[in-house]
Structure 1
Amino acid sequence: MGEAKYPQDQNSASSLRQAIEVISSLISLSHSIKVFTVKWQLIRNKLEELNSGLIAVENCDSSESSGLSSLVQAILFTVNECNVLARRCVDLCYGGKLLMQSDLDVLSSKFDQHIKNLSGIYTAGVLTQGFAIVVSRPGVNACKDDMRFYLRDLLTRMKIGDTQMKKQALFNLHEVVIEDEKYVKIVVLEVNEIVNILVKFLDSLVIEIQESAAKVVCVISGFDFCKSVLIGAGVIGPLIRVLESGNGFGKEAAARSLQKLTENSDNAWSVSAYGGVTALLKICSGDEFRGEIFGPACGVLRNLVGVEEIKRFMIEEDAISTFIKLVRSKDEVVQINSIEFLQNIASGDESIRQMVIKEGGIRALVRVLDPKSSFSSKSRETALRAIEKLCFTSSNAINILMKCGFTDELLYFLRKGEVSVQELALKAAFKLCGTSEEAKKAMGDAGFMPEFVRFLDAKSYEIREMAAEALYRMVSIPKNRKRFIQDDRNIGFILQLLDKEAANSGNKEFLLSILMSLTSCNSARRKIANSGYLKIIEKLAEAEVSDAKRLVRKLSTNRFRIMLSGIWHS
């Protein structure tokens, strides 16, 4: 059974309800005002905030109401003053513009004071939450004014509510910004005091408030138009403090926010200035921090390596060795992010690339490709990309790759890999056979040529072209050329493909180059001349395809001249 209210309490409740209704009416009236629009917008914002505060008061119990009663009476007096000015502005019957502007400024200051006094009553603990507050969220097709009012209501609760009220307001705020970008725009561009409150809450000693604020900031930081506002509000330092001392969910949200904010390298120095690099390296190297936080934390570091001084600091902190160890992790997220970090930090810097190689980076990457291991296809794709970026410009790296059994792993995935891995393996094999004579010889001995031949007929033009060029590089080595010619099917297959490609641009240039290279062997010249495809080569020559002309000339020399004298005269 509810506690009986004394007449004085009833009068207070009546005045409070009256104030709420009068303010709501005044807000509606203010939308009709067509003069001094900027000043009235400012007043309307304050009225909405004040109204939210008074509505919150209705949901609370009061142990002593004299201060509140006095404040409500003062608010009613100011609101009635405002009502008079509003009607004069609607009717355009005010005395002078300067006088009206002055009166509106005075009113605006009074409302500021009322909001401050109401906040003070909450802070003093006079009001306590009597039951769970349910804030009515506008419907899906709500107008912007309703959305703005709802956000101002949440702002008021975050400013003057008790701990539970703040938690609920933050929960509701997170709910709307994650579902509807329009709320994000209003928060950042109109009710931007919410941003300042969120930044303040990141340093809250109440861990739930800190975590909830970090989650909202994480959503907002994903929008480009919000980033400069967050940076201007000083969000970097508090986010790093959450990384250092928050709970798991708060740390993850803070790391994701920083990852988004540091996509602009201008913000990198702020992270460094607040000790963020050390905090992030600690997260990445500590076992207790593994899981959802590792990916975004590593992502921030990848964003920061673009700043030379920060990159050097990471190296001094032994980041290279740390992340090479993490490449061996069985956790896919940890493994992939570690590989990408090493790739980023070594990009365009030969000294760091050599450091990665010296610390055992190549061996760690090749180990990821071991078919007997349980690593995922995604990890293997990432390792192949990193090897391509890190290794193919250095003879030392190539030698280490070959000694680590890289060609065996590459050949396996060319033959049996999933499509995505297979294509990357082909790309790596293509680059590898362009590095040195030794690499081509080793690849020929290992059995790469039949795989390149197989890809010559792939659906993708890019794949066909890579395979053809790789095969052309391979047969430039006499030993490989001899091995290739020994299989009668090879030359016939290339001639068939040339026939198929003759009508379009395709990759006939590389096919012709392969045939041209093979003609240095008598047996190959004989097989081509007897194949029945000479008319195709002749047509291409007549079409001024230079490689075809060269090929016909080559076939026409010495003992083939008589045989072909009727086919071509140059």
Structure 2
Amino acid sequence: MRKERNPRPAETDPTNSPDVALDKPSLRQVILLISSLISLSHSVKVFASKWKLIRDKLEELNSGLIAADNCDSDETPAISDLIRKIIGTVTECDDLARRCVDLSFSGKLLMQSDLDVICAKFDRHAKKLSEIYTAGILSQGFAIVVSRPGLGACKDDMRFYVRDIVTRMKVGCSDLKRQALVNLLAAVTEDEKYVKVIIEIGEIVNLLVNFLGSPETELQEAALQVLHIISGFHSYKAVLVGNGVIAPLIRVMECGSAVGKKIAARCLLKFTENSENAWSVSAHGGVTALLKICSNSDSKTELISPACGVLNNLVGVEEIKRFMIEEGAISTFIRLSRSREESVQINSIVFLQNIAYGDESVNKLLVKEGGIRGLVRVLDPKSCSSSKTLEAAMQAIENICFSSVSYVNILINYGFMDNLLHFLRNGDVSLQGIALKVAVKLSETSEEAKKAMGDGGFMPEFVKFLGAKSFEVRVMAAEALSAMVMIPKNRKRFAQDNRNVETLLQMLDTEEVNSGNKRFLFSILNSLTGSSSGRRKIVNSRYMKNIEKLAESEVYDAKKLIRKLSTNKFRSLLNGIWHT
């Protein structure tokens, strides 16, 4: 049996409350009543989730009433009627709150039902207030914005401030909405805790997304700036995507202001860091819009760079990659790789690398469109490309071309060897390191590459790097030389310079016995024993004793080298060293 509810005297005439004047209750009075009720609600320990919902509605309603109190609302019948209804609901809710605090209610189910009813009433009041604003009944010429709490303010104060902003965003005139967005941007910029408050309140995200479709540029751009900050928080990206932010961002890129397009592209760049959002961007025409931006010669660098970045994030999806190719993306990005702007150059080079890597059909198209020639031109010392751009171009060439002998031959014909050697000799430390890594990989690609590198003068540069302070550099140089001296012509050229052999033997005494570098050094020396002049120079070297010491210490590579040197012609010189 459903029990009878306790009588509620306040329902008969809410203005009987001693806190409310009998003739005409004011906005200020109802604001004070709601504030008091919010404070009382924090004392309630039961039905916590339902009271939180009620408190959220009270805060929303209160911020709206404060906005109305700052407007010219005198003698407005609509607002006066709403105030009386709100006071009635507040009085009723106050009674429920006190019974919850005192645990004097007759049943849990009945109280939960009453709380649901009261929450719905507050929701209706908030919607009615919104309708009054929308109808233009209130004049907002004198409206002011609640001051933002100082740093370190409690969460309730921050929520109240954001609630006030929500109200103005929902029902204010254009100027008031713009000011609300400006204040919200200032808040999230100064204190990231406001971002969490925004996410918790919820409805503000939907409002921000809706502003992206506003015909007023200032409102659109302000909303974009706030969304850009929120999108920087990984855990909140899903909330924004769930509120439908992708489609309006793409529309802004298609027809927004220059500033709006730039911010929208930066937002999409953050969203597409998660590959799950790739299809959403594609489904709303984002790929076409981005490619149009990149192909438009009038597009500015600050827009092209993030647009390239988004496409780079999307190119990993095979179906989207194929669509990009069909839309002429390769020729577009080959052209962009010649840009004078560093960020555009780098992004376009990275895109070409990503779209072609591991795909032979795309590689062929890239060659046909002049992509490899374009990348080699970027490396031209006369091109004035930045170090970062040069590094990106070298890495792209390595990833795209080094898996195919035919592509390596194309590189040789385009003069890649000369450019690479230039930076190996003259680049800064970082660029030299990249050039050395690329040269080592190049030496492993084909016989033709080794021959071309030998003819081009790479070996003396590798010998110089053998004396580098960096162990990694020394190993790379030794590895490259080890590969190159496998070619007879290179081996002969290397052995002709006595200093080369001296350097190798001297280093055997400084490198650790089992280091990778020492193994490469022995590999080079073993190759040199393939010619009589090479063997003679090793045996006659003043550093021959280093090999002898290592052989006596049972180092396998040293003993192997001694065996090769122990021909009839040299046996007498090596007597006593080799023991079987």
Partner of residue 143 from structure 1, selected from 148, 154, 158: 154
**Native 8 Å contact 2:353 2:396 kept in 1:** yes
Q: 1:12-32, CA deviations, whole angstroms, 9 ceiling, x for partnerless residues?
A: 997111111221222122111
TM-aligned CA distance change 1:178 to 1:464, over 3 Å: farther
Q: 2:505: which partner in 1? A: 495
Alignment of 1:122 with 2:133, yes or no, is: yes
**Native 8 Å contact 1:552 1:568 kept in 2:** yes
RMSD of Structure 2 on Structure 1 (CA): 1.9
1:46 Cα deviation from its structure 2 partner: 0.7
Separation of aligned partners in 1, 2:74 and 2:107: 47
**Native 8 Å contact 2:482 2:520 kept in 1:** yes
- Which amino acid in structure 2 is aligned with residue 346 of structure 1? A
Separation of aligned partners in 1, 2:235 and 2:513: 52
Q: 1:348: which partner in 2? A: 358
**Native 8 Å contact 1:468 1:511 kept in 2:** yes
Partner of residue 92 from structure 1, selected from 99, 103, 110: 103
TM-aligned CA distance change 1:185 to 1:540, over 3 Å: farther
Alignment of 1:520 with 2:530, yes or no, is: yes
- 3-state DSSP of counterpart to 2:139: strand
Alignment of 1:310 with 2:320, yes or no, is: yes
1:502 Cα deviation from its structure 2 partner: 3.5
Separation of aligned partners in 1, 2:227 and 2:329: 28
- More moved, 126-135 vs 474-483: 126-135
Separation of aligned partners in 2, 1:205 and 1:122: 20
Alignment of 1:159 with 2:158, yes or no, is: no
- 3-state DSSP of counterpart to 2:72: strand
TM-aligned CA distance change 1:442 to 1:121, over 3 Å: same
Which runs of structure 2 are paired with 1:310-349 in the superposition (5 Å)? 310-349=320-359
Which runs of structure 2 are paired with 1:25-424 in the superposition (5 Å)? 25-62=36-73, 65-131=76-142, 133-188=144-199, 190-424=200-434
Separation of aligned partners in 2, 1:347 and 1:164: 51
Q: 1:18: which partner in 2? A: 29
Q: 1:107-131, CA deviations, whole angstroms, 9 ceiling, x for partnerless residues?
A: 1011001100110111011223224
1:561 Cα deviation from its structure 2 partner: 1.4
Separation of aligned partners in 2, 1:203 and 1:307: 29
Q: 1:482-504, CA deviations, whole angstroms, 9 ceiling, x for partnerless residues?
A: 22122221111112221110356
1:173 Cα deviation from its structure 2 partner: 2.0
1:512 Cα deviation from its structure 2 partner: 1.1
Separation of aligned partners in 2, 1:12 and 1:167: 38
**Native 8 Å contact 1:284 1:290 kept in 2:** no
Q: 1:164-209, CA deviations, whole angstroms, 9 ceiling, x for partnerless residues?
A: 1211222222223334332222322x11111111121111122211
Separation of aligned partners in 1, 2:568 and 2:182: 87
- Which amino acid in structure 1 is aligned with residue 458 of structure 2? F
- More moved, 467-476 vs 146-155: 146-155
Q: 1:7: which partner in 2? A: none
Separation of aligned partners in 2, 1:425 and 1:270: 40
Separation of aligned partners in 1, 2:400 and 2:513: 40
- More moved, 213-222 vs 31-40: 213-222
**Native 8 Å contact 2:71 2:143 kept in 1:** no
Separation of aligned partners in 1, 2:162 and 2:524: 70
For structure 1, the residue ranges without an aligned partner over 5 or more in a row are 1-9
Q: 2:463: which partner in 1? A: 453
TM-aligned CA distance change 1:107 to 1:516, over 3 Å: same
**Native 8 Å contact 1:461 1:506 kept in 2:** no
In the alignment of these two chains, the number of paired residues is: 560
TM-aligned CA distance change 1:374 to 1:532, over 3 Å: closer
Q: 2:550: which partner in 1? A: 540
- Which amino acid in structure 2 is aligned with residue 510 of structure 1? F
Separation of aligned partners in 1, 2:22 and 2:408: 88
TM-score w.r.t. the length of structure 1 is 0.94
Q: 1:251-286, CA deviations, whole angstroms, 9 ceiling, x for partnerless residues?
A: 112111212212222222221221111111101111
Q: 1:473: which partner in 2? A: 483
**Native 8 Å contact 1:128 1:162 kept in 2:** no
Q: 1:4: which partner in 2? A: none
Separation of aligned partners in 2, 1:545 and 1:14: 101
TM-aligned CA distance change 1:389 to 1:178, over 3 Å: farther
- 3-state DSSP of counterpart to 2:455: helix
Separation of aligned partners in 1, 2:520 and 2:22: 94
**Native 8 Å contact 2:501 2:537 kept in 1:** yes
Separation of aligned partners in 2, 1:442 and 1:303: 37
- Which amino acid in structure 1 is aligned with residue 35 of structure 2? S
TM-aligned CA distance change 1:471 to 1:159, over 3 Å: same
Q: State, as a whole percentage, how many aligned pairs show the same letter.
A: 67
TM-aligned CA distance change 1:459 to 1:152, over 3 Å: farther
- More moved, 224-233 vs 131-140: 131-140
- 3-state DSSP of counterpart to 1:50: helix
Separation of aligned partners in 2, 1:12 and 1:162: 32
**Native 8 Å contact 1:502 1:540 kept in 2:** no
Q: 1:31-62, CA deviations, whole angstroms, 9 ceiling, x for partnerless residues?
A: 11100100000001111111111111222234
Separation of aligned partners in 2, 1:486 and 1:239: 66
Q: 1:508-561, CA deviations, whole angstroms, 9 ceiling, x for partnerless residues?
A: 111111111112222222222232333432343345433222111112222111
- Which amino acid in structure 1 is aligned with residue 58 of structure 2? L
